[in-house]
Each structure stands twice: as structure tokens, then as C-alpha cells.
A and B are shown apart, each in its own frame.
Chain A
Amino acid sequence: MKFDHIIIRYGEISTKKRNRKGFVDKMKAHIRWSLKDIEGVVLTANRERMYVLLNGADHVPVIDRLKGIFGIQSLSPAIKIERDLEVMKTAALYYLNHTLEEVNTFKITTKRADKDFPYNTDEINRAIGGHLLRNTEDLKVDVKNPDLNLLVEVRREAVYLTGEIIQGAGGLPFGSSGKAMLMLSGGIDSPVAGFLSMKRGLDVEAIHFYSPPFTSERSRQKVIDLAGKLAEINGSMKVHIVPFTEIQLLIQKQISENYSMTTTRRLMMRVADRIREKEEAMALITGESLGQVASQTMSSMFAINEVTNTPILRPLITMDKTEIIKIARELDTFEISNLPYEDCCTVFTPASPKTKPKREKVNYYESFVDFESLIEKAVSETEILTVKPGQTFDKEEAMEDLF
């Protein structure tokens, strides 16, 4: 006895009408990719559902992977068996003993599409229910709110058993919303912002500002490790590492201290927007949360946002730090982010940055400095890495031989 297929239910895609096929195709492609190394599995889809036929493969790793795929509302493992009451009983017990969550209460719901089957719905319910109760300890029937509603579907060709409902990741299929650039600092917030954007179907690339010697190689490594985590979702993540030292030095020299932070953010935005244009993406993503730090007050955002009219997505804008940390822990990015290395945000922070910067003032200060050539230079010298899941080395491939 073995599970032989998994039923996949669509989430929000099911509300789509004429463009549904596009979403389904994207999700199908992503599921195929994520299961590609599991031998035997076959994916079929219709307008309402998808089915993964296991063909002998173990269902647990398949479910594990499907659980991380955006666009899937829920999953159910299922068994196809012959039309024989004894086999149905055995299969029901097998199903009960192999659920992922513990089951204390259950009910049986039989659907008899084939009315020629010698037993009626009631008889089937009773036979299977009795068999389960006789062969388990501490299991109870609960028809109102059972842990497991075991569905028995009697059809002309076979009997299908299913019932356990495993929550999927929700969201929209990968890539169905286009591409956006994530400003990935190495802190706790930005990877979470990236994750939530990916959940809504965005194909995300990361931009990191690197200022040696003021920031250490470890903070750059941290960003690669974080990108490696996010890459688990779809197999890889492009990271643009922008050399930012020269711009920062110029800001330190030319901009009044209490406005240096505002100008730094504005320049990061300008550089990021330039890279976005090159990569043909349509938005920038930040991990900003309203009022969290000086650069994330409403006045700051108003002053910083002035440099571009590209949509800036801020998935965390209304979240509290504790809520963000909770997601970061679930993503396993918290521990990486929490490592204490200097990044570009911490080194040059003035003692008392403006929390209510004014657009006129920042424009006035910046009007005396020519940043354009340095922006060009930073964009052209940006290093592009493609980070694979769990990748630790950025370029020292020689090291791989050691393992």
C-alpha cells in the first residue's frame, strides 16, 4: 500500500478568468522544476486542480517541496485502490497511520458515483469507520469538526481515498507578476520583504551596496548567504553588488552631516533605479517599516522617494519589528541577518540624522555636487553574481574541491 498521487488546489488563481491559463502554466513550470530530480513523478493539470502522479516515489519529500511553492492553496495525498471493501479498509487504516499531522478524531465521507457498487454509502462508512476504531487506540469519531475527514470516492474504474489537507504556501505563481529589484542590506527586514514579494509572484533580483574598507567582507558574505536562502524558492537569485565607497566618501565630504543619511538613501535609490532599468524590471523593493529608523519616517520617505517615480514596493511598511522577526525566523534568515558585522547603513550614520528632512534643503545641498559621473561608474562596475540555494562561496570555486 502506498500513496500514489497528490491533489493540488489553486489559491487565488481560481478567481482568475480568461488569464487563468497563464498563471497555471507558470505554476506548472515551477512545480516541474522543483520536482525534477524525483524520479517517476508526472504532473497533470486542469482548470480546477493539478495532480502529481507519484509512480512509486515517496510522497513525503514531494509534499515537502510542494509546500514551498507559491500559488498552491492546499495539498492532499491520495490513494487509488481496487473496488474491494477489504482493500478499502486496509487502505483507510494506512492513510490514517501515515498522515503528517496527528489525528485524534475522524469521520468518513463516502461518495458513491457508481451506484452499482454492492455496498451503499452508509455501509461503507460504517465498515471503514469500524475497522479504523478496532485497529487504533484513542481514536474517536467526530462528525462536526474532525482532525481528518477521510473521503472515499467510489467510481466505476477504481476507489479513491483522500482527506488530509495540508496548507500550501498561498500567493501567486513565481514570475507571474514580473520582475523587481530588492535592496538587500544584510539586515533582518530586507530578506523578509524579498520573500513576501516573491510570494506575490514577483521574480526578484537583489541589489547590495558594498563599501570596502568601511564595511567588511563578512557583510558582503552575509548578503550572499541571505540570497542563497531566498534562492531556495526558485533555484537561484541574481545579486548586483554595487561598489559604493566613492559615492559615500563624496557625501561625507560635501553634504551637511545631518542630511548625509537622506542623501545616501537618495543616491542608493538612483543607482538602484538605473540597475532596474538595465535589468528591465518594473519596481524597487525595500524592507522599510514606517517609523522604524530615521530614514523610514514619512518625511524621510517623502524626501528620498523624490528621486524616482518607479513604484517602490514596501511589503513591511505597516509591520512591527516583532512581526518581521517572526517571519525572518521561519525563513531561517534571522540568524544570518543577526550576525554583527558593519554594513553600509551603520558605518556612516551620523549621530543625529534628520528625522524630518525637507525636499528643498536636500536638493539645495545636492545641487553643489556632481554625483552623476559616480553613479554611472558605480552602475558600470557593479558585479553580478548568480547565487544558488545554500551557496557559500561567491567566486572561489577552487574551494569546492575540498569537499
Chain B
Amino acid sequence: MIYFDNSATTKPYPEVIESFMKVTSDYFGNPSSLHGLGVQSEKLLSAARKQIADLLKVKSSEIYFTSGGTEGNNLAIKGAAHAQGNRGKHIITTAIEHPSVEDACQSLTRMGYEITYLPVNEFGQIDVTDLKDALREDTILVSVMHVNNEVGSVQPIAEVGKLLKQYPNVLFHVDNVQGAGKVSLSLSEANVDLCTISGHKVHGLKGTGILYVREGVRVDPLFHGGNQETKIRSGTENVAGIVALSKALRISMNNQLLYHDKLQQIKTYLYKGLKEMDGVLVNSPEEGAPHIVNFSVPGLKSEVLLHALESEGIYVSTTSACSSKKRTVSKTVDAMYHHSARSESVIRISTTYGNEMEEAKQVLAAIQKIVANLEKIMRVAK
């Protein structure tokens, strides 16, 4: 099996599962309980928080645990919008955000918020001058993803942060679900106020995630209840998942230091190989994240190619995993190229640490063979 769908989810590291098992069976106390079992769980929780804060070079008190990327993005956007709503009702985001950002913003329009969507160029990047032009008196929040989940384009987060530093009333949220552990981002240098990370994209477990909230930034909770996570996120903490997440993030960031070049080599190999292939258009920018290559075979429906690859034991995605059930076109590819045949036939390959060049060679050969075969059968017009 060749698993090249790591942007949908990653396989948890064995050490991470080990930690989860041990904590969930040996330290099952509720961290809010006053007795010793509770104290132990609370210690584990604060140690995990500290480790994550150290890895992200922020303070422990700025780390909040969530159930994953979707909750993190919703909490950041709706929570910040509700807390700042009396100052303004304008939010700026991009045309290529993940649905959990896009739809969270969309849901606010029913409460009178206005959303501006920034366009992207053919490299899948926004232009900071567009953002500057879009800023208004009543803008309260700018939400820009770090690494795009479909094509892997990397947004100029540091530049956006530099611009927004001059607008102290505008909060800056970054969806870093796809970037964490793969593309470096300094939260302090980029003046980020809110940042979402998901556990299962960094070889942790599903149902875990992090929202970074800069000290002094007010966010209204989505969940009310026992006032856990300093009232921002009520609900008994998933201690085992959180400890596992702190380990997963540590190992992933460590692997980033050690194996970034190897990941990049595999991507470059896939990118170049696909670029040279007949009938194939590469959608990812060459300068994008080192783990995502997105391509189209215009005229060939994504799903057909996906299943053909599956029969060879190769697992990839059409668009993003979350949208793929809707049978829609790729939003990002559409925003980049405005070409429907291209955005309807999208395949995303996403790798991670531990993938080998040999696998990439097999995948490329398989694509070549399948595309040639299918084009004959389906009489793809060239």
C-alpha cells in the first residue's frame, strides 16, 4: 500500500498511540477533580500544554485545546467576531479557504456580518495589496490560511502580519492545519492573534486540536459549561488525546528539521514528472508546500482516476477530503485557473515524513499507465 493522502489524515505514530493508551487507561481522572487522580491528570494536561507552547514559541496560557481543525477555525472566527462585534462587522478572508473557515464566515452573514473574499493568482497566493485595499474602518478580523489544503500554495503570512500590525484593531487568524509540522511559521514574527492546528494532520489522533489565542485577545466560547480552558472551551479535557498530540507535534516538528529536504525531493520529483506527462496539468505551484502536489487530467473525472490508482494499492484524494463527497469542483483550482475541465478532474497527492522516493516512482509510473489507458477508453478530447 502506498498512502499518499496525508493531507486528509496521517497515520498516528506508534509512540503517540502508546502514550494515548497509557494515559487513557492509567490516568483516567478528570483534571478538575480535587483528589490525587485528578491532580495527576491535570499535571499531564499542563505538561502537554507547556510542551506545545514551547514548540510554538508562545506562552502556555495562549494554548487552548479543541476537537480539531474545524472547531478551532469556528471558535477563532465566530468567537472573535462575537467578541468584537460591537466594533465592526467586516471580515476578510480568501477565496481558497477550507470549508470550516469559509462556512463559519458565511454563517456570520446571517447576523449582519459582511465578508470579503480575496482572490488568488495562478500560484494560488493572495496579493497583500488586495488585502490592504479591502481593509475598512469596521474590519475586525482577517483570516488567511497558511498552506492551502488542495494545492499546497503557501500564503505570505509574515507580510500579512506586517501589514496588519499597523491596524491594531484587526485580529489576524491563520488556519495552519496543513502547515503545522511541514512549513515553518513564527507566530510572533507574523503577529498572528489566532492560529488553528489539528492533531490528526501531524500524526496525532482524530478529535484533538489546538487553538492559539494571543494573550489579551478576547474570544467568545462556542460551548458553555464547566468553564474548562479558562472558560473559552468548556467540556472535560481529552487528556489522553492532548498528551498524544503534544508528542505527535514534537515528533513531527523534529522530523521537519531532519527530513524536510527528503520530502522536498519527493515533491520535486513528482512535480517534474507530472509536468512532463502528456495530458496532465499540474495545479500546485512549484514553490508551494513540500508535501502537496495537485494535478488535473482534463476530460477525466477525478474519481475514475482515484479508483484506478486505488486498484494499484495507491491512495490519493480528489479535491480536499472534506469536499470530495459533495462531487464538486475544486474550489482552489477554480480560483487559480478559472477553467472548469481542469477543476473537475483534480487529484491531490500528499506525502509526509517516512514516504520514500521509491513510492513516488511507483506512483508516477502508475499514473502514466492509467492516464494513457483511460484516455484511450474514454476518448478524451485533446
Q: Which A residues form the contact surface with B (CB < 8 A)?
A: 216-218, 221, 332, 335, 390, 392-393, 396, 399, 401-403
Return the 6 tightest CB-CB contacts between A and B, nearest first.
Answer: A392-B47, A402-B19, A217-B39, A402-B243, A403-B51, A392-B43
Residues 239-259 of B, flagged 1 when their CB comes within 8 A of A and 0 if not, give: 000010011001000000000
**A392-B247 contact, Cβ under 8 Å, with A217-B36, A402-B23, A403-B51:** no
Asked if residues A403 and B243 are in contact (CB atoms below 8 Å), the reply is yes
Q: Within the complex, what minimum Cβ distance (angstroms) separates B22 from chain A?
A: 6
Decide yes or no whether B214 CB sits under 8 A from chain A: no
Q: Point out the residues of chain A lying under 8 angstroms from B265, CB to CB.
A: none
Known: A216-B34, A218-B34, A218-B39. A403 touches B247 (CB 8 A): yes
| Given A218-B34, A390-B50, A392-B50: A399 in contact with B39 (beta carbons within 8 A) | no
Find A403's partner among B36, B42, B47 (CB 8 Å cutoff).
B47
User: Chain B residues with Cβ under 8 A from A335's Cβ?
Assistant: 61
Q: CA A390 – CA B51 in complex, angstroms?
A: 10
Q: Kindly identify which residue among A218, A221, A390, A399 contacts B44, using a CB–CB cutoff of 8 Å.
A: A399
Distance A165 CA – B212 CA, assembled complex (angstroms):
32
Q: Is B48 located at the chain interface by the 8 A CB criterion?
A: yes
Contact A221 B22 (CB under 8 A): no
**Do A402 and B39 touch across chains, with their CB atoms under 8 A apart?**
no
Question: Would A221 and B51 count as touching, CB distance under 8 A?
Answer: no
**Which residues of the other chain, A, contact B51 by a CB distance below 8 angstroms?**
403
Q: Are B47 and A399 in contact (CB under 8 A)?
A: yes
Q: Are A393 and B247 in contact (CB under 8 A)?
A: no
Q: Which of A335, A393, A399 has the most CB of B within 10 A?
A: A399
Task: Say how far A169's CB is from chain B's closest CB, in angstroms.
Answer: 20
Determine the distance from Cα of A402 to Cα of B21 in the docked complex, in whole angstroms: 10
Inter-chain CA distance A392–B243, complex, in Å, is: 14
A223 to B47, CA, bound (A): 16
Say yes or no: is B46 at the interface (Cβ < 8 Å to chain A).
Answer: yes
Q: Smallest CB–CB gap between A157 and chain B, Å?
A: 35
Closest to B59 in A: A332
Nearest-CB residue, chain B, relative to A390: B50
What is the CA–CA distance of A255 and B19 in the complex, to the nearest angstrom? Answer: 51
A/B interface sample: 6 pairs, CB < 8 A: A390-B50, A396-B40, A402-B19, A402-B22, A403-B51, A403-B250
Chain B residues within an 8 Å CB radius of A392: 43, 46-47, 50
Flag B212-250 by CB within 8 Å of A: 1 or 0 each. 000000000000000000000000000000010011001
15 more contacts with CB within 8 A, not counting A393-B47, A403-B19, are A216-B34, A216-B39, A217-B39, A218-B34, A218-B42, A221-B43, A392-B43, A392-B50, A393-B43, A399-B43, A402-B23, A402-B243, A403-B47, A403-B51, A403-B250
C-alpha gap A332/B39 in the complex (Å): 21
Most buried by B among A332, A390, A392, A402: A402
> In the complex, A396 Cα to B36 Cα: how many Å?
13
Residues of chain B within 8 A of A221, CB atoms compared: 39, 43
Give, as a whole number of angstroms, the nearest-CB distance from A355 to chain B: 32
- Give chain A residues whose Cβ lies under 8 Å from the Cβ of B19: 401-403
**Given A216-B34, A335-B61, A403:B43 Cβ within 8 A:** no
B18-46 CB mask vs A (1 if < 8 Å, else 0) is: 01001100000000001010011011101
Q: Known: A218-B39, A392-B50. Contact between A402 and B44, CB under 8 A?
A: yes
B47 surroundings in chain A (CB, below 8 A): 392-393, 399, 403
Determine how close the nearest CB of chain A comes to the CB of B40; give it in whole angstroms.
8
- Nearest opposing residue in chain B for A399, CB measure: B44
Output the nearest chain A residue to B54 by Cβ-Cβ distance: A390
Closest CB-CB distance, A317 to chain B, in whole Å?
31
Tell me the complex Cα distance, A396–B61, Å.
Answer: 24
CB distance from B32 to the nearest CB of A (A): 11
- CA of A399 to CA of B46, assembled, Å: 12
Task: Point out the residue from A217, A218, A390, A402 that lies within 8 Å of B247, measured CB to CB.
Answer: A402
Give Cα A18 to B54, complex, Å.
43
Give complex CA distance A217, B35 in Å.
8
Find chain B residues with CB under 8 A from A402 CB: 19, 22-23, 44, 243, 247
Bound-complex Cα distance A399 to B50 (A): 14
| Distance in Å: Cβ of A332 to nearest Cβ of chain B | 8
A332 to B50, CA, bound (A): 14
Q: Which residues of the other chain, B, contact A216 by a CB distance below 8 angstroms? A: 34, 39
CA gap between A54 and B167 in the complex, in Å: 35
A218-B43 Cα distance, complex, nearest whole Å: 10
Min Cβ gap A54→B in Å is 19
Min Cβ gap A388→B in Å is: 12
Q: Nearest-CB distance from A324 to chain B (Å)?
A: 20
B28 CB to closest chain A CB (Å) equals 14
A residues within 8 A CB of B61?
335
When each residue 58-100 of chain B gets 1 if its CB lies under 8 Å from chain A and 0 otherwise, what string results?
A: 0101000000000000000000000000000000000000000
Bound-state CA distance A399–B43 (Å) is 10
Assembled-state Cα–Cα distance A393/B59 (Å): 19
Nearest chain B CB to A51's CB is how many angstroms away?
27
Given the complex of chains A and B, what is the CA–CA distance between A164 and B44 in angstroms? 42
Inter-chain CA distance A332–B60, complex, in Å, is 11
Q: A216-B34, A218-B34, A335-B61 are in contact. Are A403 and B39 (CB under 8 A)?
A: no
Counting chain A CB atoms within 10 Å of each CB, the highest count among B22, B23, B43 belongs to B43
Residues of A with C-beta under 8 A to B43: 221, 392-393, 396, 399
- C-alpha spacing A403/B240, complex, angstroms: 11
Q: Which residue of the partner chain B has the closest CB to A341?
A: B34
A335 to B46, CA, bound (A): 13
Whether B48 lies near A403 (C-beta < 8 A) is yes
A228 to chain B: closest residue by CB: B50
Which of A216, A221, A392, A396 gathers the greatest number of chain B CB atoms within 10 Å? A392
Give Cα A393 to B54, complex, Å. 17
Closest chain A CB from B281 CB (angstroms): 42
Q: Which A residues lie within 8 Å of B247 (CB)? A: 402-403
Q: List, in ascending order, chain B residues with CB within 8 A of A403's CB.
A: 19, 47-48, 51, 243, 246-247, 250
C-alpha spacing A403/B51, complex, angstroms: 8
Q: Specify which chain A residues have a CB less than 8 angstroms from the CB of B40 in the assembled complex.
A: 396, 399
Q: What CA separation (Å) do A221 and B36 show in the bound complex?
A: 11
Chain B, residue nearest A402 (CB): B19
B59 / chain A contacts, CB cutoff of 8 Å = 332
B250 partner residues in chain A, CB cutoff 8 A: 403
Once the chains are docked, how many angstroms separate the CA of A403 from the CA of B253?
13
Query: How close is A97's CB to chain B, nearest CB, in angstroms?
Result: 12
A399 to B19, CA, bound (A): 10
Please give the distance in Å from B229's CB to the nearest CB on chain A.
Answer: 14
CB-defined interface of B112-145 with A at 8 Å, one 1/0 digit per residue?
0000000000000000000000000000000000
B42 CB to nearest chain A CB (Å): 8
In whole angstroms, how far apart are the Cα atoms of A217 and B40 in the complex? Answer: 10
CB closest chain-B residue, reference A392: B47
CA A218 to CA B41, docked complex, whole Å: 12
Residues of A within 8 A of B246 (CB): 403
